[in-house]
Structure 1
């Protein structure tokens, strides 16, 4: 090859030579196509496994998770899931309405359409199901609202898998009156835990297909605008699609052997991350390949030179994202922990595809890839003055002013988020309220609100009465009603869950009590009540087994876990990123302020996002997961762009002193890195088309942060700081420029 390949500072990698070889590139393409074809059926199976999210939002080792485990292992029916049917007539329930509720219950019993059905009960009868000797289910008085406008029917199932819940709720809604009302004006809402899960799953139905279609359309448009060539726009997308299929196949393998779990949330974010970050990695190679084609006549030589100069930056950027995703495996919150390995796998596969498959395809296409804007051989052409050249000149001339102005702007935005926002309750989780949310509102307005999602209390039989009295008769207790629903079966022994609570308790039978709260069980007020109720129950049990679970307790445990996970994951993630940057740059000073600037843009995105959500979009509440997800994606991906810039600065520093190296690097990379930033921001923005408020907020904040990082941090703040610090950027390295 020519002089570009012979650069002693960066010899050609074996992968780049193989990928660009006349025969070997066809082997590379064939291998990737074969792997993708083998993975296609596995991708569908991964989607099927992701459909069951019954364990996704639990917390490893938590009290609520222990309750679920005990009920599954020690109780005859296991963990029952309830669908609550709220029949509502504003003028008052009539005798005919009661007969309709009974008829609906009998029809459901006979339909056989509800998987693992254990019981259907109305205020007037048990339509089907066994009678437990201990059963003290609420009667007509507790299932009829005080104003006689609402009656409740309950459908109990032993299986809480998401597909079975969807099937059951669909069967119920086919038989009962619609939420809009029947011909007589009677309305019915299917709510309770089963209704909530079914509506949440329905809101995400087709999420992967929607995201894939919107993402590809957005990326194709941006790539066409950037390169004005249909082939070079399609090639990166084709590479990412193949890499995604291979990742999905391998991810299914990990799930199938029990090494991790997967949810619909994980597969959705996998698409966004791979298409966003993957297209960015491809853009770097495409841009450098186009530049090299202007210097070298031979296409293979140009590709090897492009690959060897971009590979270190792409590999380092990918390592940062992979490391940040793997840190998520330390989380106790299942939804967060299971996401880490699969996202890390996706980015690792994408880096491999970008460094092997993309060079092979581009070398095969040659200059034709850029048609009609085919790059011409221009080895001696003088560089024209560009927009980014003027930006680089401004940064070089006024680094202090620019650094101060950008820092002040980002800090002001970050300060806007001080104080935080309340957490989203369930009714706010959907952008448009579904049947289950409206049903819960009816129950809240006319009933004991907690009836739709009771606490589940596992307690030793000998102290069951004491715990019941303590929780229902204490001063200012939020528990309105509490009734036993089942007794444990199996051999006696040390009580399950005792070790989880750090105690050895007496051998005994166990009871399950359902406790209805006086408040909306999905409100922050209900979540805040959980630790107090656990303390009261512990005192009343006097050393015997007592554990509180159920939806409300799961929400509390998830909130606590997120706080613990944040305290662990944030410093570990930052330390890992710092190490990768220090190794890449062989310096400490530059990595430190690069991380500081990205954290500043993260704070800016959260703060400004909070202002916009509260005062413009009319949504003052925040998803509890938002800060963690925003941190992981903004810090890991934000550092990516800085890696692309810093690697070019390091390259130019071999010929020039640092200040000139910074301005030349900014001028040469400004266009491609800005395009990459826009691509990634546009990809995350696709989350905002989904009907879930949590995903909308994550998409909005991450998009805002990526734009701030692209146009403020990477384009202005980091170069300005690098110019100001000069050679001190590279401490403790003593490497100096080698003119040539």
Structure 2
């Protein structure tokens, strides 16, 4: 009777939460503040503009016309004046429905290319919410002629949102199909293939509802990146936890245990809960990050993992108990491969450990390569209109016009005409008044850098501009797209220095409590760090440029998920030591968990490889690196390295 109550409770919870899954996606579509440092100077500029300036923090869209046709530009501008709800100004065109002062163009802004073949129109809007930017860019693209290209900050944001549009549905479908195929190939049983998917599917619906509630209440902000990874993570780890219990259930059935389900649950539940606790703890550590996308991702993924664990120890046993046992019976709990591998590890532990470590170290050397940084143009797997437009703009105009620098200073600084040259020192082309605060105490100056505003050279220019501004006016602030990139990279560096040791400390503590050992957690964590270094090194060789967030994100996933497999293996070895010698227990644990860990690793790597189907390069690289690290964990570390170390350390291993 209890099993039906548990199943009914989960189904009712899923039915209640189901409508909120789509609402979570809608809520996560606004990523206007996600890829920023919440306390950075550029963020202070944005907040000041929003609160103390009439027009707020302006978002710039740039239209690159393929020919200079004043009549066409005037006709397009006339339509845009009335169709864009949050229009601030159109440079070089006085909208009759706007105050006259908004029509004043920056003095040095170039609108016609030097060769007279290309025209540039700059459109400024006041609402930087992703939904509003998508709407505004859509209106602009609808109005301008074929061949005209919309780029700039707004164009990039709209194209990035388009690349993420429908990603959750795509990932969900691809993940389900992939998992079903893998489970059928591995277990050749429709029941074993469908039960984990049912359990995790119900858990995902419930978790999405809880995540939506928390985001709606303002406890954190949901992002498209977080909801995409939530699908991959939940179906990966959730299926792994299900397989661990199913494997032990089948083993107990094959041994003729009277209460097979009860014994299996008592033996695996502590392991599942501990493994899940590691993932939850590591995800919650992300909450200390300065970088918004990192900080906001933590709670969403922690909720998903916690619900997966709860479903694995309640819903799954209830479903298994409701099904006939013959669906899970098998005569051979382990195949012929694992005893052979166990015999090899028993004979050559030192050789195997040395070979695996050497291979991982060689791969890790790739991290020494000086890898470039992905800029906005390289964030897309397929080149969107905004990137094509940027290249056209930079070929015909000063490149800095695509992303102006915002300078906030007290009004008194403009009284000295020498301040402009002192500030720019040849690094910017224009020094233009762009607005005054409501209280008339601050002014906004916009600069156009000489370099591509999304390049490393532009980042160095902003550093110099800030240093120069400090000497002129210590209270002055510099923001804009380039400054945001610079501040984000600094935030990610700070976050890594804080999050990595904190996460490692928590993982060590949880494993030490679980195994009641101080030695085992050391090599359990060290081997995972090796696989992370190997995966990151190989990734550095494969990709010429990398997103600054990739190393931290891949570390979080590989450490949290990789240690799970160590926990699966080491807890089984510890259990076997109660009735066997240390050496026999290590080999027994390897043989008994080899199949389920290999299956789990393949499935988890497969789910993260689904990210390769996305159009954003950053998610593509995370998927590649995490999948590679998990495969190394599965086929090298868990099968050969950890058992070999356990044998070499003898009784000190646990």
Q: In the alignment, which of 142, 154, 161 is matched to residue 201 of structure 1?
A: 161
Q: Does 1:597 align with 2:539?
A: no
Mapped to 2, the partners of 1:688 and 1:474 lie a distance apart of: 44
Alpha-carbon distance in 2 for matches of 1:146, 1:250 = 56
Task: Name 1:535's counterpart in structure 2.
Answer: 467
Change (3 A) 1:26 1:238: same
Tell me which of 612, 622, 644 is aligned to 1:720. Answer: 644
The aligned counterpart of 1:68 is: 46
1:576-587 alignment to 2 at 5 Å? 576-587=506-517
Q: What's the secondary structure of 1:61's corresponding residue?
A: coil
1:571 equivalenced with 2:501 (yes/no): yes
Consecutive unaligned residues of structure 2, counting only runs of 5 or more, are: none
Contact 1:275 1:683 in 2 (8 A): yes
The CA deviation at 1:462 is: 0.3
Please state if 1:511 is matched with 2:443. Answer: yes
How far does the alpha carbon of each residue in 1:567-596 deviate from its partner, in whole angstroms, 9 at most, with x for none?
000000000000001001101111101111
Matches within 5 A, 1:169-248: 169-178=137-146, 187-248=147-208
How far did 1:384 drift? 7.1
Distance 1:658 1:77, change over 3 A: same
Cα distance in 2 for partners of 1:537, 1:453 equals 19
> 2:430·2:447 contact (CA, 8 Å) conserved in 1?
yes
1:711 aligns with 2:635: yes
3-state DSSP class of the match of 2:540? helix
The answer for the alignment partner of 1:664 in structure 2 is 588
Greater C-alpha Rg: 1
Match of 1:500 in 2: none
Work out whether 1:361 is the aligned partner of 2:316: no
**Quick check: 1:268 aligned with 2:240?**
no
Give the 3-state SS of the residue equivalent to 2:47 in structure 1.
helix
The answer for the alignment partner of 2:290 in structure 1 is 332
| 2:126 maps to which of 158, 164, 185 | 158
Q: 1:133 to 1:595 in 2, by over 3 A?
A: same
Flag the 1:385–1:134 CA change in 2: closer, same or farther, 3 A.
Answer: closer
Query: 2:107 touches 2:432 (CA, 8 Å); kept in 1?
Result: no
CA distance, structure 2, for counterparts of residue 462 and residue 652 of structure 1: 77
1:10 — aligned with what? none
SS in 2 for 1:142: coil
Contact 2:374-2:546 at 8 Å conserved across structures: yes
2:500, 2:350 → 1: CA distance?
A: 30
Q: What displacement does 1:708 show?
A: 0.6
- Give me the whole-angstrom Cα distance separating, in 1, the residues matched to 2:443 and 2:196: 59
Specify whether residues 667 and 349 from structure 1 end up closer, same or farther in structure 2 by C-alpha distance, changes over 3 A only. Answer: same
Mapped partners of 2:605, 2:99: distance in 1: 57
Instruction: Rate the CA distance shift 1:240–1:83 in 2: closer, same or farther, 3 A.
Output: same
Contact kept in structure 2, 1:134 and 1:487, CA below 8 Å: no
Identify if the C-alpha distance between structure 1 residues 148 and 642 changes in structure 2 by more than 3 Å, giving closer, same or farther. Answer: same
Residue 80 of structure 2: which of 108, 120, 125 is its match? 108
Taking the aligned partners of 2:231 and 2:335, their CA distance within structure 1 comes to 38
| Residues 247-287 of structure 1: per-residue CA shift (max 9 Å, x gap) | 11111111111111111001001111001111100111111
Residue in 1 that maps onto 2:479: 549
Let me know the Cα RMSD of the aligned residues: 1.7
Residue equivalent to 1:525: 457
In 2, Cα distance between equivalents of 1:408 and 1:366: 48
Residue 112 (structure 2) aligns with: 144
Deviations 1:316-371 (A, max 9, x none): 1100000000000000000000001111111001000010001101110122544x
Determine if contact 1:687/1:695 at 8 Å carries over to the other structure: yes
Counterpart position of 1:293: 253
Which stretch of structure 1 is more off in the superposition, 38-47 or 629-638? 38-47
For the pair 1:481 / 2:430, whether they are aligned, the reply is: yes
5+ residue gaps, structure 1, are 1-22, 179-186, 491-507, 614-619, 731-740
Per the alignment, do residues 117 and 715 of structure 1 end up closer, same or farther by CA in structure 2, a change over 3 Å counting? Answer: same
Matches within 5 A, 1:295-694: 295-296=255-256, 301-370=259-328, 375=329, 386-464=336-414, 466=416, 469-470=418-419, 472=421, 477-490=426-439, 509-541=441-473, 543=474, 545-613=475-543, 620-694=544-618
Partner of 1:98: 70
TM-score (norm 1): 0.86
Tell me if the contact between 2:407 and 2:445 (Cα under 8 Å) persists in the aligned partners.
yes
Kept in 2, the 8 Å contact 1:400–1:724? The answer is: yes
Distance 1:269 1:560 in 2: 24
* CA–CA separation in structure 2 for the residues paired with 1:476 and 1:68: 25
Q: 1:568 to 1:245 in 2, by over 3 A?
A: same
Contact in 2 for aligned 1:115/1:164 (Cα 8 Å):
no
Partner Cα separation in structure 1 for residue 420 and residue 222 of structure 2: 37
Counterparts of 1:488 and 1:668, CA distance in 2 = 70
Q: Does 1:729 align with 2:648?
A: no
* 1:676-695 deviation line (CA, Å, top 9, x unaligned): 00000000000001111111
CA contact (8 A) 1:678 1:707 kept: yes
1:263 to 1:457, Cα distance in 2 relative to 1, 3 A = same
8 A Cα contact 1:120 1:128, kept in partner? no
1:476 CA displacement: 5.3
Q: How far apart, CA to CA, are the structure 2 residues paired with 1:464 and 1:319? A: 57
SS of 2:150's partner is strand
> How big is the shift at 1:47?
1.1
Displacement of 1:136 in angstroms is: 4.8
- How has the CA–CA distance of structure 1 residues 353 and 566 changed in structure 2, closer, same or farther, with 3 Å as cutoff? same
Tell me if the contact between 2:94 and 2:100 (Cα under 8 Å) persists in the aligned partners: no
Counting matched residue pairs gives: 654
Counterpart CA distance in 2 for 1:476 and 1:117 is 33
Instruction: Indicate the SS of the match to 1:534.
Output: helix
Partner Cα separation in structure 2 for residue 270 and residue 649 of structure 1: 31
Assess if the C-alpha contact under 8 Å between 1:119 and 1:129 holds in 2: no
Q: For 1:581 and 1:141, how far apart are their aligned partners in 2?
A: 60
Matched residue of 2:429: which SS? strand
Q: Write the deviation string for residues 292-314 of structure 1: whole angstroms up to 9, x where unpaired.
A: 2223375xx21111111111111
Whether the 8 Å CA contact 1:362–1:369 is kept in 2: the answer is no
Take 1:464 and 1:358, find their aligned partners in 2: how far apart are those partners? 69
Q: Which of 32, 40, 64 is the equivalent residue of 1:86?
A: 64
Structure (1/2) with the larger helix percentage: 2
Tell me how far apart the structure 1 counterparts of residues 102 and 5 of structure 2 sit (CA, whole Å).
69
For the residue of structure 1 that corresponds to 2:210, the secondary structure is helix
Judge conservation of contact 1:222–1:679 (CA < 8 Å) in 2: yes
Aligned equivalents of 2:109, 2:450: Cα separation in 1: 16
**1:20 aligned partner:** none
The answer (yes or no) to whether the contact 2:423–2:469 under 8 Å persists in 1 is no
8 Å Cα contact 2:152/2:390 also seen in 1: yes
Which secondary structure does the structure 1 equivalent of 2:17 belong to? Answer: helix
